[in-house]
Amino acid sequence: MITVTTETVVGKRIVRMLGMAEGSTVRARNLGRDIVAVIKSLFGGEIVEYSELLAEARVEAMGRMIEQAQSMGANGVVNVRLATSVIMSGATELFAYGTAVVLEDEESSE
């Protein structure tokens, strides 16, 4: 499955657009990560525990988007975007979406 943030894929042409594919996950902080984060926030620097939490959420949301695109018959997703929103205090949704497409190799003009 080809996933890109652009409208086109180099070397491919879009032969059919199938609609929007989407995937999301809602993640909540946990007490252990919060305690470490508070301590780190006092001294500055990256809060690795939250970075890891968001990385896991991105992988899950993208995976769900790709699964949906495959179920639609797509072999690619173009214009992929990620968005976040706060659901409640301590819980955030990560949403991945894009246009599911069928791609074919471009014919060589040589």
Residue 35 has what pLDDT? 66
Is the pLDDT higher at 69 or at 92?
A: 69
Question: Is the model's pLDDT at 109 over the cut of 60?
Answer: no
Q: What are the pLDDT digits (tens) for 38-90?
A: 676 677 777 787 888 889 999 999 999 999 999 999 999 999 999 999 988 87
CB 53 within 8 A of CB 90: no
Domains defined for the chain, CATH in brackets: 2-105 (3.30.110.70)
Question: Is the model's pLDDT at 105 over the cut of 90?
Answer: yes
Residue 34 has what pLDDT? 62
DSSP string covering the chain: -EE-SSSS-TTEEEEEEEEEEEEEEEEE--HHHHHHHHHHHHH-S--HHHHHHHHHHHHHHHHHHHHHHHHTT-SEEEEEEEEEEEEETTEEEEEEEEEEEEEEEPPP--
The mean pLDDT value of the chain amounts to: 89
